[in-house]
Amino acid sequence: MATPASAASRLLLGMAALCVAAVGIALVSQHVFDMQPCPWCILQRVIYLAIALLCLIGAAVSAPLPRRGIGVLTLLLALSGGASALYQHLVAAKSASCNLTFADKVISALGLDGAFPPLLQVTANCSDAAVSVLGVPYAYWSLALFIAIVVASSRVALSAR
């Protein structure tokens, strides 16, 4: 039987893998299928990468309190990612420009667009980036993954040990 610490480690590693896979799928969508990202898409990539990094750190930590703290941080990041996915689909995708939106300001302020262009450069406006995969808006696929991360992060944050 798995100990709570090893179960939490596996959960954190699984979350990290899902986040990296999500960014990988986004990159394939962008560079192979020409689905260019808007600022909200890029912001979600950054959130996925931040969650993955925290999860890897959490999986390496054996002390329960820091691991639970990482669970809380990943939970908060996943909630913000879900909010950004909803905003992207419900608001931003209906506007002609996403210039100077919150997402655009965060990406510019952190200098991410210039630091890692193939991964984090905005190449589309919000209305052009509103695409569907299998009939489901891309932002909703992202939202679904963020919801799964919220559930998993909650388990890590509430773990007994």
In this structure, are residues 36 and 123 in contact, taking their beta carbons and an 8 Å threshold?
Answer: yes
What is the residue-averaged pLDDT of the chain? 90
How many domains, in total, are found in the chain? 1
**C-alpha–C-alpha distance, residues 105 and 26, integer Å:** 21
Question: What's the pTM value of the predicted model, to 2 decimals?
Answer: 0.92
* Strand 132-133 with 136-137, pairing: antiparallel
In this structure, are residues 39 and 101 in contact, taking their beta carbons and an 8 Å threshold?
Answer: yes
Note the pLDDT tens digit of each residue in 95-144: 777 777 898 889 888 888 788 888 888 888 877 777 888 899 999 999 99
Domain encompassing residue 40? 4-157
Q: CB count, 10 Å around CB of 33?
A: 10
**Quick one: how far is CA 116 from the chain centroid?**
17
CATH code of residue 35: 1.20.1550.10
